Copies of this chain bind each other. A is one copy, B any other.
Amino acid sequence: MSDKSATSLDKVLDHVDADLDAAMARLMTLLRVPSISTDPAYDADVARAAHMLAEDLASLGFDASVRETTGHPMVVAHGPDEGPHVLFYGHYDVQPVDPLELWHRDPFDPAIEEQNGKKVIRGRGAADDKGQLMTFVEACRAWKAVTGKLPAKITIFLEGEEESGSPSLVPFLEAHADELKAEVAFICDTGLFASGVPAIVTQLRGMLQEEITVTGPSIDLHSGMFGGIAMNPIRVLSKVLAGLHDDTGAVTVPGFYDGVPDIPDDLRDSWDALGFNAEAFLGPVGLSHPAGEAGRTGLEMIWSRPTAEVNGIWGGYTGAGFKTVLPSEAHAKISFRLVAGQDPLRLRENFRDWVQAQMPPDCSVSFTGHGASPAGQMDTSHPIFEMTRQALSDEWPKEAAYIGCGGSIPVAGYFKTVLGMDSVLAGFGNDDDAIHSPNEKYNVESFHRGIRSWVRVLGGLAEG
């Protein structure tokens, strides 16, 4: 590392420390926008968040624009053409906030609070993903403030549909491949392996989302008049869902495990070395027993094994009191976490055929397909991977590790399939951030060290 860049790196890091309060204030402004992408009622707010970010990036010297799609807009911002070209990806949309009554404060009135002796930024999107994407934006801001320029050719690409299946993403990548393709992509939407232990995710589970509706009688019926002689669609739906797993916890959909590999011994060894403790992982959410496939380790269950989960179910009378109705319809939202080797679209057909075959006389089933994305497996040979791992190790108390991730970050897969580009997945979330849950938070330490981590990574890029 040359003296000059070393000096400027230290200056930029100092600037980040001095500017932290202002950076948090900027994040708060973004968190106040209820950019819930899955609910059309919030479309205007999603657009507002996009324009807010584009204006901020323009102020940093980016050629920034809000690009319309058939869904929510994309934000694309190109820095000056100097040094290696990298793409940064984040998403500015957020999850719904229900059940609202479980929030301690308005999800969109963020505040700095104290939790378990640590300062946290509380609010929907604080961790997923507004707080994380802003760590990179603030790192750029700091380099610009101290050195007057950005240390590499940076393209920032922000999506507004990540929490609603990314319907516009692939068409947009295909239509703008030339301007978006870079040496690598940085994606900041993941977490630390553990408190103080940074990580780069090199394998991600994919996702298949299905909504099913079982229909029995043509109208809701009175269970006194028809109970016993009329088929109840809730009974049929329950039977289907109860059969999704066998007694060993394995998923029963035909062909579900076709092509699913066991992890290589060396990766298994390195994962074992992380000392993951399932009970310690589950304890904070009130659980203690790993509920996955018998004979698999906790990390396999969340990183390298596919799953089936019912994310929502509804039918009949769900209000106050009681209504003795036999409903006409019963519904469920079901998602599958997929691993390398599984084809989402083939599994969608297998699943639909499997459900269809279970319909008794007098019941029909209809399907609505939501997201479908393959698992992601990174080729870590590009030197930027190791440079980033070193930068993270320099910033955080512990050495950075290459790990897996149970979540789906479809964009990483599309960057590979559409743009032929691997992604460096580095993020700073903690397991207790309660993303997708009430009272989501992001540790101030994650925000602060996150910015400093990107400052170091950009410094590494400057050295080429």
Contacts and interface: CB of A to CB of B under 8 A. Distances in A.
B234 A313 contact: yes
Interface in A293-319: 293, 298, 301-302, 305, 307, 309-319
Interface in A231-266: 231-232, 234-235, 237-239, 241-245
A293 B229 CA distance: 9
A126 to B, nearest CB: 14
B322 A209 contact: yes
A337 interface: yes
Contacts of A282: 229-230, 362
A224 B337 contact: yes
Given A231-B287, A285-B217, A362-B287, A318 B312 contact: yes
A435 interface: yes
For the complex formed by this chain, how many copies does it contain in all? 2
A332 to B, nearest CB: 8
Nearest to A37: B321
Interface string A316-348: 111111111111001101010100000000000
Nearest to A245: B235
A225 interface: yes
Interface in A80-104: 95-96, 98-99, 102
Nearest to A285: B217
A156 interface: no
Interface stretch (A13-21, A130-138, A401-409, A412-420): A401-409
B228 A292 contact: yes
Interface residues of A, number: 100
A242 B245 contact: no
Contacts of A38: 319-323
A286 B235 CA distance: 17
Contact of A285 (B209, B218, B305, B435): B218
Nearest to A210: B322
A40 interface: yes
Contacts of A238: 237-239, 241-242, 310, 313
A317 to B, nearest CB: 4
Interface of A: 37-40, 95-96, 98-99, 102, 163-165, 191, 205, 207, 209, 211, 216-232, 234-235, 237-239, 241-245, 278, 281-282, 285-293, 298, 301-302, 305, 307, 309-327, 330-331, 333, 335, 337, 360-362, 370-371, 405-408, 431, 434-438
29 contacts: A39-B319, A96-B323, A98-B317, A164-B322, A209-B322, A218-B285, A218-B286, A222-B407, A223-B307, A223-B309, A225-B407, A226-B302, A227-B307, A227-B337, A228-B301, A229-B278, A229-B290, A231-B287, A232-B309, A234-B241, A234-B313, A235-B242, A235-B310, A242-B243, A311-B323, A312-B315, A313-B316, A317-B333, A321-B370
